[in-house]
A and B are shown apart, each in its own frame.
Chain A
Amino acid sequence: MSEPWEDDVEGPVKKFMFINRKSPYGTVYALESLEVVLITAAFDQDVSLVFSDDGVFQIKKGQKTDGIGMKNFSPTYRALEGYDVEKLYVDKESLDERGLTQEDLLVDVEILSRAELADLMDEQDVVLSF
């Protein structure tokens, strides 16, 4: 019998990519995606995140949600590093279209072109879009 503090035997590791395309508030997609990402990471899977379209607003600095009565969950993106989720990608076109740069984002990301993102997508075992 193994004790609860002993590490589980290593299971299979799949490559998961989560694509975030929607603005953080207004729908529950962004928060749900973040929860699934954290759970996937807690199970020691290989996780990458993509922020595209209005999804880039999810990691925009300086979010204030008092006015809409929702919890500002953007600080949680900074916890991803502690979960060993370090592969964060942003679609360059989406960022440009919204007049944003790396400076506006609250986590370190790699900014990629759509062609580069497509290549990355090809390497994944599972791709989930939110």
Chain B
Amino acid sequence: MPIEVNGKSLETDEEGYLANLNDWVPECATVMAALEDQELTESHWEVINFLREYYDEYQIAPAVRVLTKAIGKKLGKDKGNSKYLYELFPYGPGKQACKYAGLPKPTGCV
């Protein structure tokens, strides 16, 4: 189902991931979050921006375990744990945060 962002219709797959990575603008995250009744805080954006940078560098969406470890290294131990990330993204930090960040579903995500 396509999503409506800034007056443009963007194609997504059946799970709501953007069909075209280059379509992503920050508003995509806001729109996707609203569809799931979520409001994005600074803490959410920290993770979303981190994922964008990770993808830019490695060309993949990291597995949850890898994301958790990498967040811990970059943003501190109190954020680099699954509990914190699951509280921000209850549908799973890998799946949900990657979707908001316009990335494909993480490899190895079942």
Contacts and interface: CB of A to CB of B under 8 A. Distances in A.
Interface in A1-34: 3-7
B77 interface: no
B70 A82 contact: yes
A75 interface: yes
A3 to B, nearest CB: 8
Chain A interface helix/strand/loop/mixed:
helix
A100 interface: no
A64 interface: no
Interface string A70-109: 0111011011001100000000000000000000000000
Contacts of B66: 42, 79, 82-83
A47 B62 CA distance: 17
A39 interface: yes
Nearest to A71: B59
Contacts of A73: 59-60
Given A76-B60, A79-B57, A83-B66, 14 more contacts: A4-B86, A5-B85, A39-B107, A41-B63, A42-B65, A43-B108, A73-B59, A73-B60, A75-B57, A75-B59, A76-B59, A78-B58, A79-B60, A82-B58
Interface of A: 3-7, 35, 38-39, 41-43, 71-73, 75-76, 78-79, 82-83
Interface of B: 57-60, 62-63, 65-66, 69-70, 81-83, 85-86, 92, 107-108
22 contacts: A3-B83, A3-B86, A4-B82, A4-B86, A5-B81, A5-B83, A5-B85, A5-B86, A38-B60, A42-B108, A71-B59, A72-B59, A73-B59, A75-B57, A76-B58, A78-B57, A78-B58, A79-B57, A82-B66, A82-B69, A82-B70, A83-B63
